[in-house]
Amino acid sequence: MSSNTVYFITGANRATGLGFGLVKAFASRPNTIVFATARNPSTATELTDLAKQNPNIHVLKLAVDSESDTKRVAAEVQRLTGGIDVVIANAGILNYTGSGLETPIAAVEEHFRINTLSPLILFQALYPLLKARQTRKFVVVSTQAASIKDIMPLAVTAYGASKAALNFITRRLHSEHLEEGFVIIPLNPGWVATDMGNAGAKSVGMEKAPLTVEQSVEGQVKVIDGAGKEESGRFWSFDGEELAW
């Protein structure tokens, strides 16, 4: 079993994305192993190049909404390290913007499949690997747009609803596994100038989202590092602020 700190990060395929930024941040630390997933590594050139330069990064092919694929990847991680300290379920989509009246049901189903069900599939497959270590952190990348109390004026019915449902699952997992020493949180990365963030910004007349990837990643890493028993089961933002469900 590896004595290194082991991170598992989904959705790391885009060089301009948060997953890629998180991989770089954690891989730069000494005594770490980072598993970075991409649906199609052959097209994730920057990620595979980064892994060539950093032998502690392992790129894994993963369709996050596939139970069989996730189990296969879990078996590979088990063989290589025997456990995982921190899982960051970052992969997600925002493929449609529009009001509830206009949103196609197929778009809602697609967002729920990727944004809501995939992290649960991931937790179920990686649970034994997390339990094999003492850190036992499971972080899902959520969004402030998922807040029901402080609903945002954005036409993201499918995306917001899928992330709100993800928040419930995260809270449920927290209550079920707190006594086992798990730390389970949803984390809002902020409104970041990624492909997804900029698309949302343009939908409301902005040129781009206000946060850089570097600013978001720096804040997320600080929250993830500092999250313990007291922080588990609460909705956090990258800047350390607790958000309303």
* Residues forming the active site: 159, 163
Residues 240/225, Cβ–Cβ less than 8 Å: no
Q: Among residues 5, 13, 126, which one has the least CA distance to residue 59?
A: 13
Sheet holding 137-141, edge to edge: 57-61, 32-38, 5-9, 86-89, 137-141, 183-188, 236-237
Q: Among residues 130, 148, 19, 141, which one has the least CA distance to residue 74?
A: 130
d(CA 88, CA 90): 6
**55, 102, 161 from 154: Cα distances, Å:** 41, 14, 12
Two tokens, residue 52: 């060539």
Residues 8/60, Cβ–Cβ less than 8 Å: no
d(CA 230, CA 118): 26
What's CA 159's distance to the chain center, in Å?
14
Task: Specify the residue for token string 């402080």.
Answer: 150
